[in-house]
Amino acid sequence: MKTVCAFARGAVVVSAIAAAGSAFAQSGDGTNNAGRDVKLARDETIAKGIVINGLVILSDRPVPWNAEHTNPPGGLEKYYQDNVIGGPGAFVLVAENFNSFGRAIIKKLIAEIAALSPAPHIVVR
């Protein structure tokens, strides 16, 4: 998570696309298991005007050394809502398993595109 947030912050700075309206999705099948505090990385990223959406992949494969990694208290979707997503209009989508991940990505893209504000008054002649 921390690496993805850092990459997204850097990518927006060098991007030809204005930061306004920039968003990325963090997908995963568990909680943050390495690196610095996920909330700190999230807060730094949204402070740059970048929206972080979440895509949770549910898994019934527990990690032997950390059972709460794939099933934290309250569920993985709640973990993402409380710790990962941020910014105006941020959302979490859930893929019921790894096989449904592709369909979830399509839903995520549609939701992000639909959230873009329309261009100012344009006349086509």
Range of the domain at 22: 2-115
In a domain, 91, yes or no: yes
Residue 8 has pLDDT above 60, yes or no: no
4 compared with 22, residue with greater pLDDT: 22
Query: Where is average pLDDT lowest: 15-19, 30-34, 77-81, 110-114?
Result: 15-19
Q: pLDDT averaged over the chain?
A: 79
- Measured at the alpha carbon of residue 47, what is the angle toward residues 43 and 48, in degrees to the nearest 5? 125
32 compared with 6, residue with greater pLDDT: 32
In a domain, 122, yes or no: no
* Distance separating alpha carbons of residues 98 and 95, to the nearest angstrom: 7
- Specify the amino acid at residue 19: A
Number of domains forming the structure of the chain: 1
pLDDT tens digits for range 63-74: 777 777 788 889
